[in-house]
Each structure stands twice: as C-alpha cells, then as structure tokens.
Amino acid sequence: MTGGVGDDDIAALKRAAVSYPLELEFSQQAQPKSEFIADVKVTVRDRAGKVLLDAASGGPFMLVDLPTGRYDVEASYEGQSKRQSVDVRKDQHRKVVFVWPSRPGAETAAQ
C-alpha cells in the first residue's frame, strides 16, 4: 500500500500502518523543514538476495506486508540510492525513514 498525498490519504495510511509490519517514509531536506516526496523506487530483498518487492511509491508512505525476517531495503530518488537493513516481525510495526539531501541550489531558488 502506498500514498500519502493529501490530508485524508495520510490519515488513512496512518490508520492502516498498524496492520503492516513495515512502514517506509520518504522525504527530502528543505528549509525550513523536510518535505515529503513521491515516486521513490523501492526494492526489498530477503537475506538470499531474492527481490520480494520492486515498486515505485505513489506518495511519501509505503506499507509493506512481509513475513518475519531480515530484509535489505533500497530506495532510489533522483538518481541517489539509499539502503537500510531492517528486521521485520509480524507482531511488531517497524518504521524506516529515508531522507535525501536538498537539491543543489534549492536554498538559492527559495530566497
């Protein structure tokens, strides 16, 4: 499940998140605070390297239903990839946040 564009969508995803063992959040540094982003390419691999999820986010949040285990999550945005390993348990909710640096010149353009 992915989304989070608009207040109603964000509220619905927040309610649904407790039913998923893994929640991913995507943002980019900006001034005065970070901004949510979408269109993040997400790949989730198990310990053997098998791809279990290969999708693009439709908003700043992605809810993933995975069996208990350790996973490598790769998130790519505007040509920059970030990776995090996460231990997932069916009886716990884990949230992993990916934050990209601000775009070069973004501070100058905002002034």
Q: How far apart are CA 20 and CA 22, in angstroms?
A: 6
Specify the number of domains making up the chain.
1
Quick one: which H or E segment has residue 99? Answer: strand 94-100
Task: Tell me the residue type at 12.
Answer: A
Residue 110 lies in a domain: no
Residue 88 lies in a domain: yes
Which structural domain range is residue 44 located in?
2-101
- Residues in contact with 110: Cβ distance below 8 Å, sequence separation at least 6, in sequence order: 30, 31
Residue 108 lies in a domain: no
* Angle, alpha carbons 88-50-94 (nearest 5°): 15
Residue 107 lies in a domain: no
Q: How far apart are CA 51 and CA 4, in angstroms?
A: 24
pLDDT digits 0-9 by tens, 72-102: 999 999 999 999 999 999 889 999 999 999 8
CATH of the domain at 38: 2.60.40.10
pLDDT digits 0-9 by tens, 6-59: 788 888 888 889 899 999 999 999 988 889 999 999 999 999 999 999 999 999
* Stated pTM of the model: 0.87
